[in-house]
Structure 1
Amino acid sequence: MSAEPLLTEYPPSRPAPARANEMVSIIRSSFAEVEDDAEELAKHFYSLLFHLAPETRELFPANMVVQRSRLLRALVHVVQMVDHPDELGPFLSQLGRDHRKFGVVTKHYNAVGGALLGAIAHFLGPGWTPRVQTAWTEAFNVVSHAMRAGADGDTGPACWLGRVVGHRRLSWDVAMVQVQTGQPIPYHAGQYLSVETPRRPRLWRYLSPANAPREDGIIEFHVRAVHNGWVSRAIVAHTERGDTWRIGPPMGRLTVDPDSGRDVLMVAGGTGMAPIKAILETMAQRSDNPRTEVFVGGRRWEDLYDFASLRQLSYTNPWLNVVPVVEEDEGISGAEHGTLADVVTRYGAWKDHDALVCGSPSMIRATVSRMLVAGTPLDQIRYDPFTMD
């Protein structure tokens, strides 16, 4: 499939509601038909991309396993949010700004579109009808326009250089890394950043700062060495003071709305404590805050590697209550027992709360699903899609 016909309009016209609904329905149903072949689809996509635009190969690492899984998460997220433009638009805009660090230009978007539609067409076979092709083409035009508009509207650096000024193990598989940039990165507490480390070039990993922005430009990251995590294992085991990291623009919309009038629920699993800690640190600087309940969970007590600092924060801020949750250590006193999904929904439906959920993709899926069943309104739950290697 040629890429040239894809970008037919700039900017694309907004489809009429009936036509937009039809497009969403076609995209979801056709994607469902190829979802079982997602891994092979991703391989085919990159094969087509490197054929259409050979110069893009040098933008990616030699080992493409992590990159393929990241593509699938992005594609699934877009498919899930395609009929929520108010949420999908900001995500795509941020994604476009983030891709500036690669030197992506318009012809690369054309090639990506051609490769994506070509891969889906290949696996749909006879199901790739003119109506399906039109729906996916229109959708990609909208996606590419939003990403390019986000990139074109950003006048800041494409990325920042930072020097590692601290590295310390917080547990056997979690490390705290402090990186200082020459100028502060304009992120807000709760957002995440893409980082590239010298030991894993071209393998970018999303990390959430564990501190509110500081004038000295120091950012603290909490990194867990996940199984088969090329980047995370290298960061935990081999990072040294003086290492130079590249850091991409901030992404994500995880934050507390002080004007919503609702109390706040925060659910954090593992290193999902990092963005929660940064948000709480920011809130502690204000004089007036909503009542905030924080559930921090792990399989064992030692997985709650930074619980002491959160508990200390609760001692000095009466609006804050922190509840530890463990799955396996039933003998631990002073902690709730079970999964985070179990414990949080055991406490109630949280209908009058704004909820923030941070952790691994599986933990987020399980917790959000249980909360929805319990009666928590979907539009009051916030989480970000990219959290792991």
Structure 2
Amino acid sequence: MDSQAISLVRSSFKAIAAVPDGPQTLSGSFYALLFARYPETRDFFPAAMDVQRDRLISAVQYVIDRLEQSGQILTYLAQLGRDHRKYGVQDAHYVAVGNSLIAAVEQFPSTEPWTDELEQAWRDVLSVIAATMMDAANAESGPPAWGATVIEHLPVRKDISVVRLRLDEPMSYNPGQYVSVQVPSRPRMWRYLSPANPPNDEGIIEFHIRRVSGGWVSPAIVTQTQVGERWVVGSPLGDLGVRFENGRDALMIGSGTGIAPLRAQILDMARRPQNLRVHLFFAGRYPCDLYDLGTLWALAEQNPWLTVVPVTEEDEDPWWYTGPSSAALPGMHRRLTGKVGQVVADFGTWSERDIQLVGSEAMINTTKFRLQAAGTPPENIRHDPSY
């Protein structure tokens, strides 16, 4: 992409982000224009648009921040294009989205003047984005989405469930990637989840879901999922995964159910005869948040290349937790207390490691800041968009 166009688009978007509630205003304007000018697109979206508006801004921000990283961003856009096949999106819809987004940016009350040069920059960038997504979608021969049947629903805590499904046909994905899912009680409300296990010939896929207060989908999954229920699963997305080709050892940091994609990678690595070293920090607010610590510790006992370090912000479980004791298992690294970003940074720069972060947006941003302040090169740190 042209560097001048990238600079203009990035400056324009930063001006929008600097306005209070600017991104939300832009998103609302975009969807209003899209549905008014192209009413047929409304059927692609859920009735409640709150989450969808936030996802739009997250995706736009993620792409704009990485426009110079052509290899990474083109891979991400190709994945996104393949995933969008589940909606029945056609080439004309990409044109509709691009035109509506440009109109929304042009109408935004910003200090940035709207010029012919700025409009052309947006059109150039959006043209590359749309072309990449369309080409990947049109070249794909696999299913637009996978049907799946729930074979097990295991409540781990009142607010955390493990759900296992059998896909109608196996899916090829890289351990560490994530997928979109649609459950029968929430049609057209797609939720992104990371498989907690590597792909297999049986098509068994496992998800760890935490109920988000006020969420539309996660409470329904945690409280209502029944064995035999039919789900729909979208194409795999994401850039996480161990990079064996560079020979660098890995540092993995996961918070809460964010441990799932890291767990999938470790399970996959355990099948290899030789491995890189992996240092895994499993974090939570309370000890009871480390719900899968037993599994990870068992893997560490069997695989000397793996080190598991539990980290919690509090030393004791909350008064309302009445589950099994979360005391450290014999031989395990002692649990450390503090914010995981600061705890990890206190060990040093980790400059020789390939680093993956998975968790909430706040956790990822704070941990990145702490690591970079300690001297970690930013290019060593990877994470997927926060949806």
TM category (shorter chain) comes to over 0.9
1:30 aligns with 2:17: no
- d(CA) in 1 for partners of 2:33, 2:25: 12
Look up the equivalent residue of 2:271 and give its one-letter code.
Answer: Q
Match among 14, 23, 46 for residue 31 of structure 2: 46
- d(CA) in 2 for partners of 1:149, 1:376: 37
- d(CA) in 2 for partners of 1:140, 1:262: 35
Matched residue, 2:274: 288
Matched residue, 1:261: 247
Match among 17, 21, 39 for residue 3 of structure 2: 21
Look up the equivalent residue of 1:135 and give its one-letter code.
Answer: A
Match among 75, 90, 106 for residue 105 of structure 1: 90
Tell which deviates more after alignment, 291-300 or 372-381.
Answer: 372-381
1:115 aligns with 2:122: no
1:318 aligns with 2:304: yes
- d(CA) in 2 for partners of 1:163, 1:338: 40
Q: Secondary structure at the match of 1:170?
A: strand
Look up the equivalent residue of 2:93 and give its one-letter code.
Answer: H
- d(CA) in 2 for partners of 1:374, 1:97: 38
Contact 1:30–1:124 (CA under 8 A) maintained in structure 2: no
Matched residue, 2:336: 336
Contact 1:33–1:124 (CA under 8 A) maintained in structure 2: no
Look up the equivalent residue of 1:255 and give its one-letter code.
Answer: G
Q: Secondary structure at the match of 2:253?
A: strand
Match among 49, 53, 56 for residue 68 of structure 1: 53
Match among 128, 134, 141 for residue 127 of structure 2: 141
What is the CA-CA distance between 1:259 and the residue it aligns to?
2.5
Matched residue, 2:159: 173
What is the CA-CA distance between 1:375 and the residue it aligns to?
1.6
- d(CA) in 2 for partners of 1:257, 1:134: 38
Contact 1:210–1:276 (CA under 8 A) maintained in structure 2: yes
What is the CA-CA distance between 1:102 and the residue it aligns to?
0.6
Matched residue, 2:322: none
Runs (4+) off by over 3 Å: 330-333
Tell which deviates more after alignment, 238-247 or 332-341.
Answer: 332-341
- d(CA) in 1 for partners of 2:33, 2:161: 38
Contact 2:27–2:56 (CA under 8 A) maintained in structure 1: yes
1:85 aligns with 2:70: yes
What is the CA-CA distance between 1:379 and the residue it aligns to?
2.1
- d(CA) in 1 for partners of 2:174, 2:3: 34
What is the CA-CA distance between 1:285 and the residue it aligns to?
0.4
> Which stretches in structure 2 are left out of the alignment for 5+ residues?
318-326, 329-333
1:217-272 deviation per Cα after TM superposition (whole angstroms, max 9, x unaligned): 11010000012211111111111111111111111121111231221111000111
Q: Secondary structure at the match of 2:348?
A: coil
Look up the equivalent residue of 2:53 and give its one-letter code.
Answer: R
Contact 1:191–1:254 (CA under 8 A) maintained in structure 2: yes
1:368 aligns with 2:372: no
1:381 aligns with 2:363: no
Matched residue, 2:352: 352
Q: Secondary structure at the match of 1:252?
A: coil
Matched residue, 2:265: 279
Contact 1:266–1:292 (CA under 8 A) maintained in structure 2: yes
- TM-score, normalised relative to structure 2: 0.93
Contact 2:286–2:316 (CA under 8 A) maintained in structure 1: no
Matched residue, 2:324: none
Q: Secondary structure at the match of 2:218?
A: helix
1:22-78 deviation per Cα after TM superposition (whole angstroms, max 9, x unaligned): 112111111111123111111110011112211111111111001111101001111
Look up the equivalent residue of 1:31 and give its one-letter code.
Answer: F
What is the CA-CA distance between 1:173 and the residue it aligns to?
0.8
Q: Secondary structure at the match of 1:127?
A: coil
Contact 2:160–2:208 (CA under 8 A) maintained in structure 1: yes
- d(CA) in 1 for partners of 2:268, 2:214: 34
- d(CA) in 2 for partners of 1:282, 1:87: 23
> Which stretches in structure 1 are left out of the alignment for 5+ residues?
1-14
1:112-151 deviation per Cα after TM superposition (whole angstroms, max 9, x unaligned): 0111001111114671111111110111001101111111
Matched residue, 2:219: 233
- d(CA) in 1 for partners of 2:109, 2:35: 21
- d(CA) in 1 for partners of 2:124, 2:277: 44
What is the CA-CA distance between 1:370 and the residue it aligns to?
1.6
Contact 2:287–2:316 (CA under 8 A) maintained in structure 1: no
1:250 aligns with 2:236: yes
Tell which deviates more after alignment, 116-125 or 274-283.
Answer: 116-125
Contact 1:330–1:337 (CA under 8 A) maintained in structure 2: no
Matched residue, 2:292: 306
Q: Among all aligned residue pairs of Structure 1 and Structure 2, give the percentage whose two residues are the same amino acid.
A: 43
Note the aligned Cα RMSD (angstroms): 1.4
Contact 1:176–1:221 (CA under 8 A) maintained in structure 2: yes
Q: Structure 2 matches for 1:176-195, cutoff 5 A?
A: 176-195=162-181
What is the CA-CA distance between 1:288 and the residue it aligns to?
0.7
